Amino acid sequence: MLIAFLTAPEGVEQVELTEPWQAVLDHGAAPQLVSTKPGRIQAFHHLDKADTFAVDMDLDHAQAEHYAALVLPGGVANPDALRLDARAVAFIKAFFDAGKPVAAICHAPWTLVEADVLRGRTLTSWPSLRTDIRNAGGTWVDEPVVVCTQGPNTLITSRKPGDLKAFCTALIDGLRSTPDAQETNWKPAPHS
């Protein structure tokens, strides 16, 4: 089962990429790093440069239909850059249109605002996004993780790196109900 992790070339919060990535690997699914251009992305630890990671697929070649779910890591610069890229916005919207799970943490819901997929949805994020989310028709709540099944797909959101354990657990639980999981009889490994 292939899971897309979408990031910009710079600005992703490293731990919000690596911890969900490891959770997906640990439970027998296959993460794939998708970005706006090929090469490597530069991750950050808050405002400091961290590691770089190889891009598996660029947006000129990635298609939502090839993935079971989408993970949107945060960082301030990452979603800000993605929401300005029409290909990234279309890629995100395609997961909602197809009814596939989407998981977004911290500032990542900015991309969901841009994709216009929040009307009638309940979610959380970094607190500075609450007005943007409300203006986009969503209901913002201050909780470690929110799993919203209102609408065509499951939307999993968390506020910050401190919520990653709950976020990763909800992500793996959300993958169980995907058509890909049912078709392949995917059974995630037990939580460690």
Show which residues are catalytic. Answer: 107
Nearest Cα to Cα of residue 41 among 65, 16, 61, 69: 16
- The overall longest dimension of the chain from CA atoms, in Å, is 42
Order of all β-strands in the sheet with 40-45: 10-13, 40-45, 48-54
Are 106 and 13 in contact by the 8 Å Cβ rule? The answer is: yes
- Residue 71's SS3 state is strand
For residue 56, with 0-12 CB atoms within 10 Å meaning exposed, 13-18 middle and 19 or more buried, which class applies? middle
Cα 88 from Cα 85, distance rounded (Å) = 5
Cα 153 from Cα 57, distance rounded (Å) = 24
Angle of helix 164-175 relative to helix 14-26, nearest 10 degrees, comes to 40
